[in-house]
Chain A
Amino acid sequence: MEPITGAEILVRCLKQEGVEYLFGYPGGSVLHIYDALHAQEDVKHVLVRHEQAATHAADGYARATGRPGVVLVTSGPGVTNAVTGIATAHMDSIPMVIFSGQVPTALIGNDAFQEVDSVGITRPCVKHNFLVKDVNQLAETVKKAFYIATTGRPGPVLVDIPKDVTIAKTTFSYPETIRLRSYNPTIKGHAGQIRKAVDLIMSAKRPIVYAGGGTVISDGSAQLVEFTRLLGSPITITLMGLGAYPATDKQFLGMLGMHGTYEANMAMHECDVMIAIGARFDDRVTGKLEKFSPNAKIVHIDIDPSSISKNVRVDIPIVGSVPHVLQSMITQMREESLKLNEAALSDWWKQINAWREMKSLRYRGSDEIIKPQFVVEKLYEVTQGRAIITSDVGQHQMWAAQYYHFDQPRQWINSGGLGTMGFGLPAAMGAQLAFPNRDVACVTGEGSIQMMLQELSTMKQYGTPVKIINLNNRYLGMVRQWQEFFYQKRYSMSYMEALPDFVKLAEAYGHVGIKIEKPSEVEGALREAFAMKERLVFLDFITDPTENVFPMIPSGGGQNEMLLAERDEMVSTHEDGMVLV
């Protein structure tokens, strides 16, 4: 075999991994790699306009498909620009492999031009990272990177490649499989624990299923649906898990947590047995820990042992992958014809239905001014609930989660863990590249969208006909809401002055822009936009600037201390809650 360069080896590895898209940006240290990319057509490179967008686009691609997102950036500023996107993927356990150029090995540590300690900078926000110092180790390292990124609890893995390694030559062989003595994720749950869990569940009078993003990531949705239907119990889902169980199903109580539904949070608070599945008891979900589900015995299924009993002590931990563990439970329940106590379950549903009557997602409509919730409801109708929806961070994100009823996993793409404004647009681009024929919409706010506007250019170049749903309230709305409630309406730096004309802006990038100011025009504009199958359309909805996200558990509150929109005067938050965010 002829020796080939490190750059060529890298490209061959990507082909072997079946990489369809590489999101990247060139620079000095990766020019050899770009040269090798130029000579082939299997791996398509998407030239973003900012490295942060490369990581978010790869992330959106990964969330939409379940396959790893792949990124290539240059050394120094290329890497530092990518860090936000890497951290975003890390917090949400998204499989991603990032290749970064590095200064030549001989210069490492010399403060060379465009040198940063990429492995050091990214260490706290990757699952693992590598510095490849020898071309003979390159192929194996790439194999390891993909293996680590996509197995167990997935996450981003960075491979830092000095420029001389991309030039050096060796013969290429790509390992078929890889075994790491120090890394063996547990997939199958412990049989004894599963049996104990089923026993506990069957003793429940007020059970609830609480499922999270891990269910989506592990492709465990089918098993979750079967398990929950078999049980007949209510189910609630976290912001990260929406779509794992059909939102239109009658057993679904809606999202839980800070802006979850009243019935979901009350049922969590009052349950006697909680089955937590691929969820991690995030502080946005639990509210104040001391007040969290006081009477619940908890079963917790998670692939990551360190997620178990981290925030909340659980009674029956099961380490394993969600679909495997649920399948074992389903099999046992079927074989032994296990059923919950029917009378108790029916009482429980009566109670839940009473909570449902509070209609906690009700909002006051208007003929004068566009209510943001109304836009999302219409978006749901016009796309028949089948679009892939990405979002940014803020009020619009919560409204998208509350009013678009996701029936399928991987339909809802948002930065839940890190809460990264700017995520939505590039993530939509990644999702659209993965699914060119599906409707993809980015629900955003005028604050968030301005963090990634440059990608409108990339999206012109690659023809991704995303629909941007800009809920333009002229405020950093979520900040404004907190200032209204907790800082006596002192709106410090939350008003967005000097906004651009988004219609002209979209047009300047070669897209279509529509400004919508009246409620009566909302549906028509959406229909018009989605009819333009080939075009990116920027829909600028001028919405009610005073609208707030309800219901809400104020920081420091318990799950049963929700504030509902019209019923409650907003009381000032608990003092110890003020330090929480």
Chain B
Amino acid sequence: MKNPHRHLISILMENESGALSRVANLFSARGYNIESLTVAPTNDPSLSRLTLVTCGNDQIIEQIVKQLNKIIDVVKLMDMTEADAIERELMLVKTRAVGEGRAEMKRLAEIFDGHILDVTDSTYTIELTGRSEKLDNFLRAVDKDSILEVARSGTTGIGRGARALNV
């Protein structure tokens, strides 16, 4: 398997200053790419959960996982893509909403299960969640010129069924 694949890796790490930089440093120092990265504390305040999306062939992913495990602050990690997992990303989009386009924008937001969070006479601010592709599709469906601002959270994920990442 030479072809690069997309992997979603979730990491539980000590909630220490510097832990995030250790992970980020590893990717830049070894030339691995990061497509997205999210990090936040968990229900256990001593742990943060970091989720990243990366891409590489099997050998590179194996090295990434080993190198991540080698970081002293990393307690445990899971390659979510190894089995069935739920992936979600949050996106906030500010769009133009004027004239005929206003109704059209609302309809589109509804089709994508979006919520309009904020309304002015010329804009909508829409919240969407889902797999990253769904968010991409929404942006593709909307006329480019009507997008004023996009804020995406990056993907996070959790295993399906009993598979759980905890300590």
A residues near B (Cβ < 8 Å) are 119-120, 123-124, 127-129, 131, 148, 180-183, 304-306, 308-310, 313
- Assembly CA distance A16 to B26 (angstroms): 34
With most chain B CB atoms within 10 A of its CB, the pick from A148, A182, A309 is A182
Check B72 against A120 for contact (C-beta < 8 Å): no
**B66 within 8 A of partner (CB):** yes
In angstroms, how far is the closest chain A Cβ from the Cβ of B45? Answer: 15
| 0 or 1 for each of B24-45: is its CB under 8 Å from A? (1 = yes) | 0100010000000000000000
Contact call A123/B17, Cβ cutoff below 8 A: no
User: Which of B13, B25, B59, B69 contacts A305, CB < 8 Å?
Assistant: B69
Please state if B21 and A123 are interface contacts (CB–CB under 8 Å).
Answer: yes
CB atoms of A304 and B70 under 8 A apart: yes
The answer to whether B164 has its CB under 8 Å from any CB of chain A is no
Q: How far is the CA of A304 from the CA of B63 in the complex (A)?
A: 12
Known: A124-B25, A182-B72. 8 other contacts (CB 8 A): A123-B22, A131-B17, A131-B18, A181-B75, A182-B74, A182-B76, A305-B70, A306-B63
CB contacts (< 8 Å) of B21 on chain A: these are 120, 123
What would be 27 A-B contacts, judged by CB atoms less than 8 Å apart?
Answer: A119-B18, A120-B21, A123-B18, A123-B22, A124-B25, A124-B29, A127-B72, A128-B72, A131-B17, A131-B18, A148-B72, A180-B72, A181-B75, A182-B13, A182-B14, A182-B73, A182-B75, A304-B70, A305-B66, A305-B69, A306-B66, A306-B69, A306-B70, A308-B66, A309-B59, A309-B62, A313-B59
- Please classify the interface of chain A as helix (H, G, I), strand (E, B), loop, or mixed, using the class held by over half of its residues: mixed
Cα–Cα, bound, A85→B76 (Å) = 31
Chain A residues within an 8 Å CB radius of B22: 123
Give the number of A-B contacts (CB < 8 Å).
Answer: 39
Q: Which residue in chain A gives the minimum CB-CB distance to B74?
A: A182
B57 at the interface (CB under 8 A from A): no
**Chain B contacts for A123, CB-based, 8 A:** 18, 21-22, 25
Residue of A nearest to B70 (CB): A306
Contacts of B146 in A (CB 8 A): none
B166 CB within 8 Å of chain A: no
CB distance from B126 to the nearest CB of A (A): 38
A131 to B18, CA, bound (A): 9
Task: Give the chain A neighbours of B167 by CB distance below 8 A.
Answer: 181
**Which residues from chain B contact A183 at a C-beta distance below 8 Å?**
72
Q: Which of B1-31 contact A (CB under 8 A)?
A: 13-14, 17-18, 21-22, 25, 29
List the A side residues contacting B76 at CB < 8 Å. 182
CB contacts (< 8 Å) of B14 on chain A: these are 182
| Closest chain B CB from A18 CB (angstroms) | 23
C-alpha gap A148/B14 in the complex (Å)? 16
**Residue in chain B with minimal CB distance to A182:** B75
Min CB distance A150 to B, Å, is 14
Nearest residue (CB) in A for B73 is A182
- Neighbouring B residues of A127 by C-beta, 8 Å: 72
For residue A182, which residues in chain B have a CB less than 8 angstroms away from its CB? 13-14, 72-76
- Which residues does chain B contribute within 8 Å of A124, judged by CB atoms? 25, 29
Bound-complex Cα distance A183 to B73 (A): 8
| Nearest-neighbor residue (CB-CB) of A313 within chain B | B59
Complex CA distance for A258 and B126, rounded to whole angstroms: 61
Chain A proximity mask over B70-112: 1 for CB below 8 Å, otherwise 0: 1011111000000000000000000000000000000000000
Q: How far is the CB of A334 from chain B (nearest CB, A)?
A: 33
A185 and chain B: residue at smallest CB distance: B70
Q: Which residue of B lies closest to A144 (CB)?
A: B72
- Chain B, residues 43-75, CB within 8 Å of chain A (1/0): the string is 000000000000000010011001101101111
* Cα–Cα distance between A183 and B75 once the two chains are bound (Å): 7
Chain A residues near B59 (CB-CB < 8 A): 309, 313
Contacts of A310 in B (CB 8 A): 63
Q: Tell me, in angstroms, the Cα distance from A6 to B74 when the chains sit together.
A: 29
